[in-house]
Chain A
Amino acid sequence: QQKVQQSPESLSVPEGGMASLNCTSSDRNFQYFWWYRQHSGEGPKALMSIFSDGDKKEGRFTAHLNKASLHVSLHIRDSQPSDSALYFCAASEVPGTGSNRLTFGKGTKFSLIP
């Protein structure tokens, strides 16, 4: 079973619209979450991290984490053409409990409706 699951698989919104991406972990050891974005032909690039319950805002992006349910979401407002990309949720374990590697979900393909 995939330890980090993302939904939806793909998402399209009009330019200027709002988008919501979801991520759930099935492993209680995963307590630290990241969102990465990958444009075609490039490596993934970190967007933001969230380690505490609640919201974290960075520009047009807001992440929300609920540690009790191990659910994290990413909200994109005022979507721009440059936002069209593959978005990954990634999780790592609490330091000291295991490897510090990041485990990635399979991604959400986000695109703008012209």
Chain B
Amino acid sequence: NAGVIQTPRHKVTGKGQEATLWCEPISGHSAVFWYRQTIVQGLEFLTYFRNQAPIDDSGMPKERFSAQMPNQSHSTLKIQSTQPQDSAVYLCASSLRTENERLFFGHGTKLSVL
């Protein structure tokens, strides 16, 4: 089992450009989570899916961020019109179920907005 796979590992965008981050959860896991990690804010919850359905997107900046899970094998996080404050490590995690289950995190995608 390869674990949670995130691509790319590093992404550099110019201010105002779009960034799409990809996540492949562990096969058989029904829940997929997205978090953002910065030095100042720490690990911030963004959104999660259960059986591909969006359950909680309360952490998502509504205007420019969107997440989808078109099938059970991948999820995407899209950031439109990227801003320097979007620079962070974006972490994807999956779990077997959602209630009190351990999360398995990928290595993350480091997004740098110049």
Chain A residues in the interface with B (C-beta under 8 A): 32, 34, 36, 41-46, 49, 51, 88, 92, 95, 99-107
Contact = CB atoms under 8 A, between A and B. Distances in A.
B107 interface: yes
Interface string B34-64: 0100000011010010000001101100000
B105 A45 contact: yes
Contact of B99 (A42, A100, A107): A100
Given A41-B107, A43-B4, A99 B100 contact: no
Interface residues of B, number: 23
- Main secondary structure on chain A at its contact with chain B? loop
B100 A42 contact: no
A95 B99 contact: yes
A37 B109 CA distance: 18
A101 B56 contact: yes
A88 B102 CA distance: 13
Contacts of A46: 102-104
A102 B42 contact: no
B50 to A, nearest CB: 8
A105 B105 contact: no
Given A41-B107, A44-B43, A101 B102 contact: no
Contact of A102 (B45, B104, B108): B45
